[in-house]
Amino acid sequence: MTEPVEYVEGDRVEVVVGAPAHGGHCVARIGGPHGRVVFVRHALPGERVTAEITELHRGYLRADAVEIHEASPDRVTAPCRFAHPGGCGGCDLQHVSDDAQLRWKTDVVREQLTRLAGINPQDQDRIFVRVEALPSAPDRLVDPRGEAAMPRQPRLLGWRSRVRYAIDALDRPGLLQHRSHQVVPIDRCVIAHPAVQELDLLSRTWPDTDALQAVASTGGDVAVLARPAGSQAAPPADELGDAPAGGALLRLAGPAEVTEIAGGRAWRVPPEGFWQIHPAAADTLVGAVLKMLRPAPGEVAWDLYGGAGLFAAALAERTGARTTVVESSPTGVAAARKNLAGLPNTEIVEAKVDAALGRRRVTGPVDLVVLDPPRSGAGAKVVRQVAAAGPRAIAYVACDPAALARDLKTFREAGYEPSEIRAFDCFPMTQHVECVALLLPT
C-alpha cells in the first residue's frame, strides 16, 4: 500500500481540474478520482494544470494554478495585471469568459441547492434556470495614468461603486491578497466605477491612515472616507462584504449623504452606510421581489434586515398598509427613518431580527415578508420565527448561496417550499452571486 504524500506549502502538483465549487475555486484530486481533494484557484473545469499548494488542511488542500498545460476554451487573459496567483484577491474569475462566469455561478448555486437544501435537480429545473446578467456598467471607462484604453468589456468592468483600499506599511494604498491581510499595492482597479477610478487615491501615499473608502452613487455623488491609523478596527476585506469598513471614518471629500436612485425614488444615505455595490442591483432586486410577492392593497408586510428601507418603500407604496422595517445598524435605522418619513404606514424597529420577533416587538398577522440578511444568512431561529407567523409569501434575498440553501432547508422543514428562485450576477469577475427565492406555504 502506498503511503500518503506529506505536502508542504509551496509544493507543486499536476492535476486535472473538476467542477467549480463555492468559494471561487474548482475541485481537483491529486493522483486521480480517489485522491486527496485540492481546491484550485485561477483554473477552469477540464484544464490540466500545475498547482502550487498555498494552504494545508485536514482532508483537503488549497492551491493556485501556476502553469496551464491544457487550457479551457473559456479561458481569457485577465484584464487586470494584478489578477494572478499571489496578487490582488479582490477578483476570482478574471481568467473566465463572460458567459462562462454565468455558467460557473449557475453550477455553484445548483450544487448548493442540491447538497444543502435537498432540492433535487429535477425540481431545480422547474424553479431555477441560470444566473442572469445585470445591465452593463457605465460607458465611460478611463485610465487615470493616461495609458491607452483597455479592450471594452462593459458588463464585467467599471461596475463597483463602493471600493475599500487598505494601506500598507509604506503608506501605499492597495487591496488584499486572497485569504490574507497582506496588502498588494495597486495603481488601478478595473472593476471600480469610472468615477472612483478618476480619483487621485492610488497615485499617492497615505501616512497615518489605515484604510480608504470611495463611493460613487447612482445619483452622481462621489465621496471619499479615510480611517485614521490606530483606530483599532479590522483592515478592510477585499471580498464584497455586508458592511462598510469599521472604525472612526473621516470624510475627505464629497457630501455627508449621497443620493441613490432605486425603486422610482431618490434615497439619501451616508457614504459609509450599506447600499448595493452594483449600480443596477437595487432596482433589479426590488423588481424581482415585487414580481414574486405580487403585493395587494391592504397586505401587511415585514422588511427584515431592512437597511434604509428599500424593499419596505416598494411594498408600502403598493399595499397602503402597515409595513415594518427591522434593522440593527444605527446608520441603517437613521437612513430608514429619514427616507421613509413620507410613507405614513411604515414603522422602523431598531433591533436584531431574532430579538424583535422573539420579544414580540414585531407582531402579526403578516401577509408578506422580505428577508435580506447578511452573508451568514438568517439562521434557523429566525427562519422558524418567520414561518410561525404564517405569511402568505416570503421573499428571501441572499448574497451567499450556501447560507440561502441552509435556510431553505429549514423553511422546508417548517412548511414553506421555494416555488421560484432567481439569481443575478451583481458582482462580475468575483465568485459572489445574489439570489432571490420565493417561498410559499405548503
> Which positions are catalytic?
399
Instruction: Say how far apart CA 26 and CA 19 lie, in whole Å.
Output: 5
Instruction: Say how far apart CA 165 and CA 159 lie, in whole Å.
Output: 16
Sheet holding 162-167, edge to edge: 183-185, 173-176, 162-167, 209-216, 222-228, 250-253
Q: Give per-residue burial for 146-175: e unless 16+ CB within 10 Å, then b.
A: eeeeeeebebbbbbbbbbbbbbeeeebbbb
Instruction: Please name the amino acid found at residue 160.
Output: R
Give the DSSP per-residue string, 17-35: EEEEETTTEEEEEETSTTS
Instruction: Say how far apart CA 286 and CA 310 lie, in whole Å.
Output: 8
Residue with cell 471607462: 141
Instruction: Say how far apart CA 101 and CA 430 lie, in whole Å.
Output: 9
Helix pair angle (98-115, 401-413), 10° resolution: 30
SS3 assignment, position 331 = helix
Do 263 and 310 form a contact (C-beta atoms < 8 A)?
yes
Q: Could you give the residue ranges of the DSSP H alpha helices within 120-235?
A: 121-127, 194-197
Q: Are strands 346-350 and 323-327 parallel, antiparallel or unpaired?
A: parallel
